[in-house]
Every structure is written in C-alpha cells, then in structure tokens.
Amino acid sequence: MTNSEKMLSALEDNDLKQADELFQKALKEDDPETLYSLAEELYAMGFLEQASTIYQQLLAQFPDEDQIRTTLADIAVSNGQYDDALNLLTDITPESNAYAESLLTAADVYQTMGLPEVSEQKLLTALRLYPDEPVMQFALAELYFEMGEYGKAANYYEALIDQDVMELGQVNIQKRLATSYASSGAFEEALQIYETMTVEFLTEDDQFQMGFLYLQIKDYQKAIEILTKLQLADPQYTSLYVYLATAQEAQNELQEALTTVQTGIGYDMYSEVLYQKGSDLALQLGDDQVAEQMLNKALEINPDNMGEISALSQVYRRQNRHAENVAFVQEAIANHKPTAELYWSLAQSQFAIEAFDDARENYLLAYPELKDNPEFLHDLILFFQEMAQIPELLAALKQYLQLVPNDLDMQTLYDDYQTMQ
C-alpha cells in the first residue's frame, strides 16, 4: 500500500495527525502518478491546501503539464486569490491542449471578480477557436443569463438544443431557454417549451412558472387550472396564491379570489403581498371589515407602506369614520414623507367634519400634484362651491373643463358663476 493510500485511509479514520505524517512521506516517496491521484482525491474532499501542495510539486517536475495549472487556478479562485489564478492561466499558450479550459477558467475568474465584460471576451475567444464545442456555447449562454441579457442567452441555448444537447453541468437546457424567453417577455415561446415537456420533467417551480406565463398572456382559465393543480399538490407553495387570486380576479371571480388569498395567508401569515391583494379584493367586494383587517395586518409587517396607508384611509372615509381618519392621516403625515393623496384624504375628512380652514389648507397642498386629476378637481369644486369661494371655484372649474370638456353639468355651473361675477 502506498503512502498516499495509507493517508486516505487515515483520513477515513479521522486520524488527522497520522494522515499528515503520511502526506509528508507521500510527497517524498510516492511516484508522480500516485501523487496526482492523491491530489485529485484531496481536491474532491475539500483539502485544497494539501492538493495545491502536490500540484505545485508536480508542476515543478512537469512544467509543460498545463492541466495542473488550470487546477491550481481553480484552487486559487476558491481561496479568493484571483491574481494568482490569472498568473497561472496566462502561462498557458494557445498551442496547449489545456488552452480551451484555461479560457473557461479565466472567464470564471473575471466573472467572480465582477468583470463580466472581460469574461465575455474570453468566452468569445474560446468560441471562435472551438466553434463546435457545446461547452463554449453553454458557458456564454450562462454568462449572458447571469448578466440578464436573456435574448443573447436564448440564442446560445437554442444552438445547443439544435445540436440535441439537452443537459450540461446538471442544467436542463430547455428549461433555461424557457426562463430566458420568459425573462425577455417572450411568454408564448416560453410556454411552447414547457408544453412539449412531459409531466415527470416538470417540477413544482416549472408548474408555477407556467401558471405565471399563462397569466401574462391573459389566458386566465389556463392559469387557474395549473395553479390550482399546484395548490392541491403542495398547498405550502405560498408563492402561487397571489397569482391564482389575480387570475380569478381577472375572471371576475372575486369571492373565490379572496378565499384563495385567505387560504394562502393560512400558510404564510407574514406575506405583505397577500394582505395587499386581499384588501384590494375586499374593497371591490364592498367588504370594508375584511379590507380593514387585511390592511392593518399589512401595516404591521410594513408600517411605512404609503399605498396601504392610503387604502386604509379610504376605508375609514367609506365608513364615514372621518374623525378617525383625520387622526390616522395626521399621524401618517407626521411620521412619513406625505403624498398628495394623503393631503387630499385628510382634506375630505376635514371637510366632512366641517373643519373648513384645515380642509382648505390640505386641498391646496394636494393641488400642485393632483391638478390634472379630474376626480380631485371635481371634489375641490364641490368644496369651493360649499364655501362660496367664487374666484377659486371658477379657477377649479376652468381647470376641470380643460380635462373633461364634455361635462355639460360642470360647464353650466361654470357659466352660471361667470354671470355672477
């Protein structure tokens, strides 16, 4: 039994001291082929320092063995020694049998260093030199995929599929292509790929992606079918619920959508997006109580969400809880950067409880941002009319009629007040 074999046996017995002694003996006594095999074993086991020591010794003995250089470069990358890795790879010339691998490794190094453009150039060079190597096409596809350049990635994934290469590095090329299509907005093309795949090759993530894609192309019934099937198979796949509810909402199945959201909350009570969707559905159904509960839960998760604050303020106004809304909105304005919508909501409730001066102030604060909003202007007109503030009323009417010139009632109101001037 060689020293190398004895060392590996000692490692299996967790006798690290004995293993180290045998390692030193192996370096001195074992032949290069045995040492190379030992280095491969140690590398696979994660003993990078010991593997590197052997490879360095072998490289000194066999300086033309560039395969050793690429392996040492991989180890250097694992240790964060990028300059050392690049120095090793630079010594490998285009004439070497390891040149292709050196380009791939260098591309990985530059990508790890946050220099994807340099990585791209290395891979393009490799592809020019080895145009028939699927590994080169795959490496470029993966780089573009990571860079978010999904159209370019799709081109290379398509080329691989044309060569009947369906899997590389444990990556399913068809699924990668489908994801690239979906990420670039080619939803129907992505679906075509999924639909050609047999059920046993579709994971839960794939089924979710299909449901999402059907939702994007507005095939709501198909989205409902797939996401419902996924729900039945794995009800704890919580990402599906908001999309299933959205598809049901698009089919005007509002109560079913709300039930879907409530089911999802049962599995994930900290999902802000589910509470948001639930509150919106409840408002559409006129169920202010459920909407209020949902919004309060959402604000417990994220108290700074201005959309949810505005929605809860809307609920208070719908229920004529104006004093409560005034207190709620004033607190929100004090604790957050106020929005024009919040000033408007506050003004509406102050108007309702006859706090007219305060209401006027907040209407005017909302005006610069909402002056092109006909609904706001309509509300402002009613306020100025109630307050008998004729110049302001005429100005608001004029602005409104520029946006809604066919509103004959407002035109008549404007003409009547004009004659009073």
**What amino acid is encoded at 289 in this protein?**
Q
Residue 356 has pLDDT above 70, yes or no: yes
Q: Is 333 helix (H, G, I), strand (E, B) or coil?
A: helix
Average pLDDT over residues 18-42: 89
Measured CA angle at 256 (ends 252, 258), to 5 deg: 100
Average pLDDT over residues 145-153: 94
What is the pLDDT of the chain when averaged over all its residues?
92
Predicted local confidence at residue 382, as pLDDT: 95
Q: What is the pLDDT of residues 100-144, one digit of tens each?
A: 889 999 998 998 888 999 999 999 999 998 888 899 999 999 999
Q: How far apart are the first and last CA of the chain?
A: 112
Q: Please state, in angstroms and as integers, the Cα–Cα distance from residue 280 to each residue in 195, 206, 361, following that order.
A: 33, 28, 30
* Continuous H helices in 234-339: 240-250, 254-267, 272-284, 288-301, 306-318, 322-335
* Continuous H helices in 113-203: 116-129, 134-147, 150-162, 173-183, 187-196
Query: pLDDT class for 421, splitting at 50, 70, 90?
Result: low
With beta carbons less than 8 A apart as the criterion, state whether 196 and 206 touch. Answer: no
Measured CA angle at 310 (ends 308, 313), to 5 deg: 110
Average pLDDT over residues 213-217: 96
| Rg from Cα positions in the chain | 34
Q: Is 151 helix (H, G, I), strand (E, B) or coil?
A: helix
b/e code 381-417 from CB counts within 10 Å (16+ = b) = bebbbeeeeeebbbebbebbbeeeeebeebeebbeeb
Q: Tell me the C-alpha distance between 215 and 246, whole Å.
A: 8
Residue 385 has pLDDT above 90, yes or no: yes
Which residue has tokens 């102030």? 361
Q: Which residue has the higher pLDDT, 348 or 19?
A: 348
Helices (H) and strands (E) in the chain, counts: 25, 2
b/e code 345-370 from CB counts within 10 Å (16+ = b) = bbbbbbbbeebeebbbebbebbbeeb
Phi and psi based region of residue 287 (left: phi greater than 0; alpha: psi -120 to 50; beta: remaining):
beta
Measured CA angle at 181 (ends 179, 184), to 5 deg: 105
| Full-model pTM | 0.74
b/e code 298-321 from CB counts within 10 Å (16+ = b) = bbeeeeebeebbbbbbbbbbeeeb
* Phi/psi of residue 168, nearest 5 degrees: -145, 135
Q: Is 251 helix (H, G, I), strand (E, B) or coil?
A: coil
Residue 1 has pLDDT above 90, yes or no: no
Q: What is the DSSP string of 183-204?
A: HTT-HHHHHHHHHHS-GGG--H
Predicted local confidence at residue 290, as pLDDT: 96
Query: pLDDT class for 16, splitting at 50, 70, 90?
Result: confident
Residue 89: which of 56, 67, 114 has the closest Cα?
Answer: 67
Residue 198 has pLDDT above 80, yes or no: no
Residue 201 has pLDDT above 80, yes or no: no
Q: Is 224 helix (H, G, I), strand (E, B) or coil?
A: helix
Predicted local confidence at residue 325, as pLDDT: 97
Which residue has tokens 């108290």? 303
Cβ neighbours for 125, distance < 8 A, ≥ 6 positions apart: 103
Cβ neighbours for 100, distance < 8 A, ≥ 6 positions apart: 126, 129, 130, 133, 136
Which residue has tokens 């109560």? 255
